[in-house]
Amino acid sequence: MADNKLNRHRAFLKDSLRLQIDFSQTDQSRGVEPPPLQKPPRKDQRPIPLPGQDSFDALRGTDLVDAISQRRSHRHFLDQPLSLEELSWLLWATQGVTEILSPSSALRTVPSAGCRHVFETYLAVMNVASLDQGIYRYLPLDHKLAVESLSDDLAERLSDATLGQSFIAAAPVTFIWSAIPYRMEWRYGLAAHRVILIDAGHVCQNLYLACEAVPAGTCAVAAYDQERMDTLLGLDGNDECVIYLAAVGKPG
């Protein structure tokens, strides 16, 4: 590949843009209303309550030093369902809200640049107790799940959208994180996109460590067919697009 093309892409790793941005011109500085903290559920959706934080008590004995030293990527999963309690824990550990600061700002279990938290968490559910196969979305402010779509051919569509990485469609559940870039752009303009990707790493690392408590296993996935994955979730690919995935199950 031509060196200049590589160099142009390397520029994305750096924060050089920051000094060129006129932050007095961002939407936040111009007084534009902040975007909502979470994408609201559709009117026809009846969100499913998830087990509350008291259900995490059983996981409290987990040693953090062990969790960090034993963490591995897992691609083989037992043919065993995840319980709703386990799923609830993994969702809370990755995107749960721990404190609401104002109508437009909330702290979560993971850090985020400027506390902007741009992610929505979708789940491709194949085998979770009491949930039908389909696509769901986590509502962190309510700690509930919205049913996006139910489908019998989810495994096939997921496999196509992940370039034939067959362990993903075979996993009981796959976390699929989308980004709504405007939540970050509202404050940082052109400096938004680099920190969105940095934020995504925190979310997935919490998933790896939270899995150790279950115990469950996960594997991060950044290689997928962008258009098919966005279509699978019903996203327009511009105002909201998939950026990262992780397959989860009981390690085989």
Give the footprint of ligand FMN on this chain (CB under 6 A): 72-73, 75, 165, 219-223
Nearer to ligand FMN, 87 or 207 (CB): 207
What 3-state class would DSSP assign to 48?
Answer: strand
Nearer to ligand FMN, 115 or 241 (CB): 241
Rounded to an integer, what distance in angstroms lies between the CA atom of residue 40 and that of residue 19?
Answer: 35
Closest separation in Å from C-beta 71 to ligand FMN: 7
Nearer to ligand FMN, 52 or 201 (CB): 201
Closest separation in Å from C-beta 55 to ligand FMN: 28
Inter-residue contact 221 to 245 (CB < 8 Å): yes
Amino acid identity of residue 123, one-letter, is L
Closest separation in Å from C-beta 13 to ligand FMN: 14
Closest separation in Å from C-beta 73 to ligand FMN: 3
Rounded to an integer, what distance in angstroms lies between the CA atom of residue 247 and that of residue 189?
Answer: 32
Nearer to ligand FMN, 106 or 179 (CB): 179
Rounded to an integer, what distance in angstroms lies between the CA atom of residue 157 and that of residue 193?
Answer: 28
State the pairing for strand pair 241-249/217-221: antiparallel
The verdict on whether omega for the bond into residue 215 sits within 30 degrees of 0, i.e. cis, is: yes
